[in-house]
Amino acid sequence: MPNLTKSFIDKVEPPPLKPDGKPTQVFYRDDTLKGFALRVWSGGTKTFILEKRIDGRVRRMTIAKYGELTPAQARAKAQELLGEIAKGNDPAEEKRIRKSRNITLIEAFEDYLNTRKDLKSGTINNYRKCMNGCFSDWHRKRIADISKSMVQERHSDIGGRAPARANNAMRVLRAVFNHVIAKHNGDSAKPIVETNPVDGISQTRGWYRVDRRQSLLEPHELKPWYEATNQLAYDVTRDYLHLILFTGLRKTEAATLKWENISFEANTLTVPDTKNREPHTLPLTTHLQSLLKHRHQQSESEWVFPSPRTDTHLSEPRSAFRYIEQETGKNTTLHDLRRTFITIAESLDIPAYALKRLMNHRDPNDVTAGYIVSSVDRLREPMEKISKFILEKVENE
């Protein structure tokens, strides 16, 4: 083993890259101070380190880059660290705790998103809007400095304007804090945060009661709504709204359909990526076949419903809904159309399990449903029945 002197370190050549181009590292351990070493990367970086077994595990602690400290200074720092370890302290753990205590809310939030590989892009976008819209002034605050009283005050402030948004914001914040507690507290006797500050809302029963929206299109409202959609300037938006009404798809499921998801041979459409992560296939009714074939003849995009302004799919058509409200006097949302579809289906006495299949609902507690394997053809008659009901309302009343 070498003696890590300046002359030796200056002569050390970096190791070559791996055959695939990835970096490599090599260690030179000092022959006079056990655990003191030099790590050299293939990129040329040289770093002093200390290796020491603590609580049965070998810990590797970075001291400094060569050039920031001389070999003598790095050796002295290594001896200082060994002294702390001899006293029963863990310098690496202390460094981790110091670093963790300085984590800001936005850093914790980004780390949470990077860790949650299961989140869909739409969910991530919603979380970002929440973080930017409700906590922008807290982004640079240390997680450790956000208190229960601050959280309750912010919840109350947002809730005075938008109760549902206040609750949603706090759920996102709670998830970020839970992530920090799980990742950074560990078995440390000095936790970064003692408890999740959002828990105070539950302890004081401070969550806002937000009634679930129940709005939909009543049978007598279908015709004026349908006529208003037929007057929309962009016929892609019209067909998008009609498809949701006649299928009950969620807004993103419908908007992100590609022509590869449509089979005119099998007369089906398939949503490959759904909320429950299981592909959802529906039969095309006679009306939907006509709608989609007409759209396909006019299309020059991979998307069934392309955006008029970008190369991607259609986004939520808020201006279209403003126009429809102006024409009909009724404010509707895309989810109202999904709610209308299932309400019509239930009124037509569609069997319960067929309803679940149509809506792609999965209940993990329903053991019987797990044994039922039904083909898409089983849904053709219910779909045609629902389609017929809607068409009679929009054409004859």
Q: pLDDT band at 256, cuts 50/70/90?
A: very high
- Higher confidence at residue 115 or residue 374? 115
Do 74 and 48 meet the contact criterion of CB atoms below 8 Å apart?
yes
Do residues 291 and 392 both lie within one domain? Answer: yes
Do residues 295 and 379 both lie within one domain? Answer: yes
State which amino acid sits at residue 151. Answer: V
Q: pLDDT band at 309, cuts 50/70/90?
A: confident
**Average pLDDT, stretch 337-357?**
91
pLDDT tens digits along 127-149: 999 999 999 999 999 988 999 99
Do residues 343 and 233 both lie within one domain? Answer: yes
Mean pLDDT of the chain: 88
Which of 191-205, 215-229, 241-255, 368-382 is least confident? 368-382
Distance between CA atoms of residues 70 and 329, nearest Å: 78
Domain boundary among 35, 62, 90: 90
Do 59 and 95 meet the contact criterion of CB atoms below 8 Å apart?
no
User: What pLDDT is stored for residue 239 in this prediction?
Assistant: 96
Residue ranges making up the domain that contains 24: 6-90
**Average pLDDT, stretch 252-275?**
92
User: What pLDDT is stored for residue 372 in this prediction?
Assistant: 43
Q: Tell me whether residue 61 is in a domain.
A: yes
> If 0-12 CB within 10 Å is exposed, 13-18 middle and 19+ buried, where does residue 33 land?
middle
Helix (H, G, I), strand (E, B) or coil at 18: coil
Chain centre to alpha carbon of residue 395:
42
**Average pLDDT, stretch 37-47?**
93
Q: pLDDT band at 57, cuts 50/70/90?
A: confident
Do residues 307 and 385 both lie within one domain? Answer: yes
CB atoms within 10 A of CB 252: 19
* Token pair 């089983």 in the structure block, residue: 378
Strand partners, 270: 281
Q: Tell me whether residue 1 is in a domain.
A: no
Is it the case that residue 254 has pLDDT exceeding 90?
yes
Q: Tell me whether residue 43 is in a domain.
A: yes
- Higher confidence at residue 94 or residue 16? 16
Nearest CA to 95 out of 11, 160, 14, 188 is that of 188
CATH number at residue 119: 1.10.150.130
Is it the case that residue 331 has pLDDT exceeding 50?
yes
Number of domain units in the chain:
3
Do residues 151 and 248 both lie within one domain? Answer: no
Nearest CA to 128 out of 142, 110, 141 is that of 110
Give this prediction's pTM: 0.63
Q: Tell me whether residue 97 is in a domain.
A: no
pLDDT tens digits along 204-230: 999 998 877 778 999 999 999 999 999
Do 243 and 291 meet the contact criterion of CB atoms below 8 Å apart?
yes
Do residues 67 and 114 both lie within one domain? Answer: no
* Token pair 């009609």 in the structure block, residue: 242
**Average pLDDT, stretch 10-32?**
91
Do 371 and 227 meet the contact criterion of CB atoms below 8 Å apart?
no
Do residues 79 and 109 both lie within one domain? Answer: no
- Higher confidence at residue 243 or residue 184? 243
CATH number at residue 70: 3.30.160.390
Do residues 36 and 182 both lie within one domain? Answer: no
Is it the case that residue 371 has pLDDT exceeding 60?
no
User: What pLDDT is stored for residue 88 in this prediction?
Assistant: 74
pLDDT tens digits along 58-100: 888 889 999 999 999 999 998 988 887 777 776 666 666 666 6
Q: Tell me whether residue 301 is in a domain.
A: yes
Q: pLDDT band at 1, cuts 50/70/90?
A: low
Q: Tell me whether residue 142 is in a domain.
A: yes
Do residues 377 and 331 both lie within one domain? Answer: yes
* DSSP secondary structure, 60-98, as one string: EEEEEEBTTB-HHHHHHHHHHHHHHHHTT--HHHHHHHH
Distance between CA atoms of residues 340 and 343, nearest Å: 5
Do residues 35 and 169 both lie within one domain? Answer: no
User: What pLDDT is stored for residue 139 in this prediction?
Assistant: 96
Q: Tell me whether residue 37 is in a domain.
A: yes
- List the strands of the sheet with 57-65, edge to edge: 25-29, 36-41, 46-54, 57-65
Is it the case that residue 189 has pLDDT exceeding 60?
no
User: What pLDDT is stored for residue 55 in this prediction?
Assistant: 75
Greatest distance between any 2 Cα atoms in the chain: 96
Domain boundary among 152, 168, 203: 203
Do residues 334 and 362 both lie within one domain? Answer: yes
Q: Which residues contact 379 (CB under 8 A, 6 or more apart)?
A: 282, 283, 354, 357, 358
Distance between CA atoms of residues 77 and 69, nearest Å: 9
Do residues 251 and 367 both lie within one domain? Answer: yes
Q: Tell me whether residue 190 is in a domain.
A: yes
CATH number at residue 257: 1.10.443.10
Domain boundary among 90, 125, 143: 90
Q: What percent of the chain has pLDDT over 90?
A: 61
